[in-house]
């Protein structure tokens, strides 16, 4: 591995400093969970927030509305398969989809650093607009701020989405039940490794490409067919597949079993992970989702997802085994077993 790359990599197990924020607090793992539990939830606690889902669902008269917000600080802002503009739309629309919601509108707030090229800004806004038009969700409001040179990193974007959850649809991180089947919509780790390669000018053959995309078409089909049998929806972004499954196991108080040989990973992503020392189970995706569905509907649900472009490579990777302990157990390719935990530090900073 080049020494210049080694010097840039953050330590995945940083020295504990309880009184300051570290990069690992934004990595989607154990440190981030503790930050939320200790510093946010005690003061902001409410029923919707307590779910700790991809968005919050609130009652509004006879309707249920989903709200989700996300900030995007990806570095670099342009990468194979997308850019920060399209990523901001995909990320928030996907979060609404994980709530079972049909997106209604988006807002976008931009923080620009003095000296950022207007030509790059135009490319990003065009990409954001194209992504929003593709899912037919308007950007109805926004905000722009500029910070001094060297006080930012070019551009950051925060998007908030509002969606409508129809009657009978109620996915939630605490709804996984014994016997449920665990589906993944496609290969994992594409986004995180594509960002890593772009950030450090690494070349792979075939080239690595982000999976940044909206999963909304597949979710629409799935919820139309099985509004109540889709128990959990989750997108494995920061912290990857393993962290998302750990969060579900903890919220539902269940044991989840997955088969490593069934987890789809592109050969080039697996090779890049092996070369750089990453575990693909913890590498972020931006165009994939986990669906935990009832056993009786799993086979047909898988067929429905595979009929969509975004889910054509969907597979079942495991089952919910019981309610004895909140944990995720992996059956390895050689037949041994190991417990998956939330990542302690971070693998890849600034991937979204």
In a domain, 37, yes or no: no
In a domain, 352, yes or no: no
Together in a domain, 191 and 85: no
The predicted-structure confidence for 137-181, as pLDDT tens digits, reads as follows 999 999 999 999 999 999 999 999 999 999 999 999 999 999 999
Question: Phi and psi for 276 in degrees, rounded to 5?
Answer: -100, 0
DSSP, residue by residue, 14-50:
PPP-TTS--GGGGSSSHHHHHHIIIIIHHHH--HHHH
* Cα dihedral 292→297→299→301 (10° resolution): -70
> With bands split at pLDDT 50, 70 and 90, how would you rate the model's confidence at 19?
confident
In a domain, 348, yes or no: no
| Measured distance CA(97)–CA(290) in Å, rounded | 12
Domains in the chain: how many in total?
2
In a domain, 5, yes or no: no
| Measured distance CA(46)–CA(317) in Å, rounded | 33
> With bands split at pLDDT 50, 70 and 90, how would you rate the model's confidence at 285?
very high
The predicted-structure confidence for 43-95, as pLDDT tens digits, reads as follows 888 888 878 778 899 998 899 999 999 999 999 999 999 999 999 999 999 99
Kindly state the helix (H) or strand (E) to which residue 325 belongs, with its residue range. none
Mean pLDDT of the 223-240 span: 95
| Measured distance CA(162)–CA(187) in Å, rounded | 28
The predicted-structure confidence for 296-310, as pLDDT tens digits, reads as follows 999 999 999 999 999
In a domain, 33, yes or no: no
Number of other residues whose CB lies within 10 A of the CB of residue 129: 16
For position 15, what pLDDT does the model report?
55
Question: Phi and psi for 56 in degrees, rounded to 5?
Answer: -110, 140
Q: Which domain holds residue 129?
A: 55-167
| Measured distance CA(294)–CA(231) in Å, rounded | 7
Together in a domain, 202 and 283: yes
> With bands split at pLDDT 50, 70 and 90, how would you rate the model's confidence at 38?
confident
Together in a domain, 193 and 262: yes
Task: Give the E-state strand segments of 135-188 in sequence order.
Answer: 139-147, 155-165, 181-184
Residues 6+ apart with CB under 8 A from 223: 100, 169, 230
Task: Give the E-state strand segments of 77-228 in sequence order.
Answer: 78-79, 82-83, 101-113, 139-147, 155-165, 181-184
Query: Residue 191 above 90 pLDDT?
Result: yes
Burial class (CB in 10 A: 0-12, 13-18, 19+), 185: buried
The predicted-structure confidence for 74-86, as pLDDT tens digits, reads as follows 999 999 999 999 9
CATH number, domain of 245, equals 3.90.650.10
Together in a domain, 253 and 141: no
Q: Which residue has the higher pLDDT, 42 or 14?
A: 42
Burial class (CB in 10 A: 0-12, 13-18, 19+), 336: exposed
Q: SS3 for 251? A: helix
The pairing of beta strand 327-331 with beta strand 181-184: unpaired
Query: Residue 327 above 70 pLDDT?
Result: yes
The predicted-structure confidence for 98-143, as pLDDT tens digits, reads as follows 999 999 999 999 999 999 999 999 999 999 999 999 999 999 999 9
For position 7, what pLDDT does the model report?
46
Question: Phi and psi for 322 in degrees, rounded to 5?
Answer: 175, -175
């Amino acid at each position: 591995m080049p020494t210049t790359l080694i010097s840039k990599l953050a330590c995945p197990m940083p020295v504990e400093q309880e009184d300051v924020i570290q990069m690992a607090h934004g990595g989607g793992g154990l440190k981030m969970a503790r930050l939320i539990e200790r510093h946010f939830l005690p003061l902001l606690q409410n029923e919707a927030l307590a779910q700790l889902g991809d968005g919050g669902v609130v009652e509004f008269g006879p309707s249920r509305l989903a709200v989700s917000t996300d900030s995007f600080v990806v570095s670099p802002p342009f990468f194979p398969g997308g850019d920060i503009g399209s990523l901001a739309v995909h990320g928030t629309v996907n979060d609404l989809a994980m709530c079972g919601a049909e997106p209604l509108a988006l807002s976008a707030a931009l923080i620009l650093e003095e000296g950022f090229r207007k030509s790059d800004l135009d490319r990003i806004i065009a990409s954001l607009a194209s992504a929003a038009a593709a899912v037919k969700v308007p950007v109805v409001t926004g905000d722009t701020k500029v910070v001094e040179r060297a006080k930012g990193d070019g551009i950051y974007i925060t998007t908030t989405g509002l969606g409508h959850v129809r009657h009978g649809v109620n996915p939630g991180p605490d709804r996984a039940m014994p016997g449920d089947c665990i589906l993944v919509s496609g290969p994992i780790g594409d986004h995180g490794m594509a960002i890593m390669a772009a950030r450090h000018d690494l070349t792979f053959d075939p080239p690595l490409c982000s999976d940044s995309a909206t999963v909304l078409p597949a979710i629409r089909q799935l919820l139309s067919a099985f509004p109540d049998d889709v128990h959990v929806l989750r997108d494995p972004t920061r912290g990857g597949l393993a962290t998302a499954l750990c969060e579900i196991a903890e919220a539902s108080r269940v044991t989840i079993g997955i088969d490593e040989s069934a987890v789809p990973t592109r050969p080039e992503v697996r090779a890049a992970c092996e070369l750089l020392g990453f575990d693909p189970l913890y590498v972020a995706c931006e165009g994939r989702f986990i669906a935990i569905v009832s056993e009786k509907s799993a086979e047909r649900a898988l067929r429905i997802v595979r009929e969509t472009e975004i889910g054509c490579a969907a597979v079942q990777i495991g089952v919910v085994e019981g309610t004895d302990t909140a944990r995720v157990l992996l059956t390895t390719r050689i037949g041994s077993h190991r417990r998956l935990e939330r990542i302690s530090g971070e693998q890849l900073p600034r991937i979204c």
